[in-house]
Amino acid sequence: MNRVTRALRIAKLAHSLGDYDTNIMGMVGEVIAEEIFGMTKTLRQAKDIDGHVMIDGSARSVQVKTLSRERIASYGGGAQFRIAENSHPERLLVLIVFSQARKYEVAYNGPAALVGKVEIVDGQQRRGICVHHLFAERRDELALLLQACRGDA
């Protein structure tokens, strides 16, 4: 059994304990980023960056954000997260995990600076990113995603 399959299995087991959007989703996302996107993980103490991916022969910093199907179903296109603006990564990878079905979907894989809005949170500049920001130019895909998240995916 490969690492992605095992991580998705763990997500399903965690889901059976209740409706939590926990660090387990983050772990699942990072395993997917390593195995599927070739991310080299940083040390645990690295702030605001989960690893590096090679793009055009250069290592680019990346942050992985993982949302559960349940979170998307609850908040719809308004499901959001924040990343630090001052030290944001070059790349952002956003995954949606369907734990019951043991699958995932890539919501965004691109430059971090191109999505979201800069806002002040607790005196610090943060880039707030909603799911609808990620699909700004792909409204049909967003509608399909929201439908799948509300269903028994």
d(CA 85, CA 149) in angstroms, rounded, equals: 29
pLDDT category of residue 153 using cuts at 50, 70 and 90? very low
Q: Which CATH class is domain 3-150?
A: alpha beta
Long-range contacts of 54-57 (CB under 8 A, 24+ apart): 55/91
d(CA 140, CA 149) in angstroms, rounded, equals: 14
Asked if the model's pLDDT at residue 127 lies above 60, the reply is: yes
Percent of the chain with pLDDT over 70: 95
- pLDDT for res 140: 92
For residue range 66-81, list pLDDT tens digits in order.
998 888 988 988 888 9
pTM of this prediction?
0.87
- Single-letter code of the amino acid located at 104: Y
Work out the average pLDDT over 21-41: 90
Work out the average pLDDT over 8-37: 85
